[in-house]
Structure 1
Amino acid sequence: MADHFQLNLGSLRSTITLTLHTHHAARLWQGRLAREGSHPIMSMAAYINITNILKQAAAQDDPFADWFMLMLEDKVLRAKAQMGQLMEQVSHLEKLLPSQIDVGDNLNIHPVTLPLFIASQLGFLAVYLLTDYDTLVRRVLLAHHTALIGRPDMEGWIDQGAHQVRSLFGIAHRCRVSGVTRSDVAADNARFQEAVDKYGRPPQDVLDGERRSQFAPPIIAVAGSTESEPASASDDVPADDETDATDKPS
């Protein structure tokens, strides 16, 4: 007869860090407080906190959390594709260097290394987008240094890349925990109607649970709803007014 014994296994853990080489990417990581003449910009930490909370709410059968996750997933994937197109343009420029010249990577002699504590896949995707931007800036600065482009083109490409990150933050700033479950949707009660008034009505397939983000967690609870709270940390601030109001999944 086999011995029965309990395996007391702990949780899996890993150490994850992020290294940034440019001031441009570091500023997007930190965000910006509101001041005269400039808009505030959300920090990456605030964005990650929002995605963490949305993931928890989606696990509790909140259809609005599922909707917001779909919005963020759609935006971050489109932003990554746009960043890739900018990278391709830089690659074309780099081919203009004479074959006799060998140019190495443009790396910071004292980069900043940051620990990452992220509980959501959408948070990781945003960090990956930021690393793409960091790489883009390094390559564009080097292209300007080696006379492949002038200052106007350099500044234009850097701004286009930054816009992709800031517009993602702008969408995240509008995301909130509704306190609604699909039981409220089925009952068409006041709680659900109040959420619709605040955030708009999600598509029917999202309300039905037929369409969810590929990163949505399993639904583990269909408990009673709670009061609506902002899905953001105290440093959540409105992002640039560059956000496209049409950035919603259909």
Structure 2
Amino acid sequence: MANEPLQLNLGSLRSAISLTLHTHHASRIWHGRPAAEGRPGIIGLNGYISVMSKMKRGAEQDDPYSDWWMLRIEDKLDDTKRCLQTLREQVEQALASVPPALSLGENLNLQPVKLPLFVNAQLGFAAIYLLADYDDLARKLMLAHHTALIDRSTLERWLNDGAHAMRSLFALAQEYCFSGATRADFAENNAAAQAAVQKFGQLPQELLEGTRRSRFAPPIARRGGSRESAAAPTAVELTFASIDDPTGTAARDEDATQ
């Protein structure tokens, strides 16, 4: 009895995460933009996170196109971050012109919205950080305009520049589609691989070989249940929920139908 191994029935890790937004500008980005006459709709951050979950599952299933998409999203996230950083530097420069005798406090919403987040994709978290950054940027811009440091046209232009950068990221993610082909299919050059190439185009050899993957790529689930190491292993598995579905039930139901 003393030599028998100790059985530890450990459950899954969970972490309570929420996002607090103070501006309507950031809230609209969370919800997305509905389709209107002459322009298509764009998913919001909640829809983007759902796409990132599907993309991560695709990469886990050894779909090289999903790995290619993860790399594209990483590059787009970097571009968006640089855009917001440029806007932040501009508004900080404007706020720096306040006379030393004048003290400006933070302009916080008296009734901010607090959104519960249940996210299972690191590229989803990366966009959440950007939205939080944009919310902070919008507050500073409105403060600068209220205190006559920037004019109305500058306020609107910089707010729109930041919002456009965020929506451009989401619009790119909207184009993602699971190919249904694996690297084994490409090694065999079978019908599944040929159909994927015809629909999505040719991929670089390093992606087909799996030597180039996103730093947040999940381990590849091989047939038989084994997993192959990825560029960066995942740590905590969470379930996505939207503001309209805080329990994540709809997302789990959707996953069950995939």
TM-score range, shorter chain: 0.7 to 0.9
- Separation (CA, whole Å) in 2 of partners of 1:181 and 1:120: 21
- Separation (CA, whole Å) in 1 of partners of 2:105 and 2:201: 50
Which has the bigger relative contact order, CA under 8 A and spacing at least 6? 1
Residue 193 of structure 1: aligned partner: 194
* Matched-pair contact (CA < 8 Å) for 1:57–1:65: yes
SS for the counterpart of 1:114 is strand
Moved over 3 A (4+): none
CA shift for structure 1 position 57: 1.3
- Separation (CA, whole Å) in 2 of partners of 1:219 and 1:204: 18
- Separation (CA, whole Å) in 2 of partners of 1:202 and 1:83: 31
CA shift for structure 1 position 221: 2.0
CA shift for structure 1 position 56: 1.1
5 Å-filtered alignment, 1:26-175, equals: 26-175=27-176
5+ residue gaps in structure 2? 225-258
Residue 207 of structure 2 corresponds to residue 221 of structure 1: no
Taking only the aligned residue pairs, the percentage that are identical comes to 51
Alpha-carbon deviations, 1:155-211, whole Å to 9, x = none? Answer: 110011011111101110111111110011112222222222222222221111011
| Aligned residues between the structures | 223
5+ residue gaps in structure 1? 224-250
- Separation (CA, whole Å) in 2 of partners of 1:57 and 1:37: 33
Backbone CA RMSD of aligned residues: 1.4
Q: When the two structures are superposed, what TM-score results if normalisation uses the length of structure 2? A: 0.83
Per mean C-alpha deviation after superposition, the further-off stretch among 197-206 and 21-30 is 197-206
CA shift for structure 1 position 32: 2.4
The one-letter code sitting in structure 1 at the alignment partner of 2:146 is H
CA shift for structure 1 position 222: 4.5
- Separation (CA, whole Å) in 1 of partners of 2:160 and 2:181: 38
The one-letter code sitting in structure 2 at the alignment partner of 1:203 is P
CA shift for structure 1 position 38: 4.2
Q: When the two structures are superposed, what TM-score results if normalisation uses the length of structure 1? A: 0.85
* Matched-pair contact (CA < 8 Å) for 1:60–1:219: yes
- Separation (CA, whole Å) in 1 of partners of 2:6 and 2:21: 47
* Matched-pair contact (CA < 8 Å) for 1:62–1:181: yes
SS for the counterpart of 1:176 is coil
SS for the counterpart of 1:152 is helix
SS for the counterpart of 2:220 is coil
* Matched-pair contact (CA < 8 Å) for 1:52–1:120: yes
* Matched-pair contact (CA < 8 Å) for 2:44–2:167: no
- Separation (CA, whole Å) in 1 of partners of 2:177 and 2:102: 52
The one-letter code sitting in structure 2 at the alignment partner of 1:186 is A
* Matched-pair contact (CA < 8 Å) for 2:30–2:44: yes
- Separation (CA, whole Å) in 1 of partners of 2:194 and 2:133: 40
Residue 24 of structure 1: aligned partner: 25
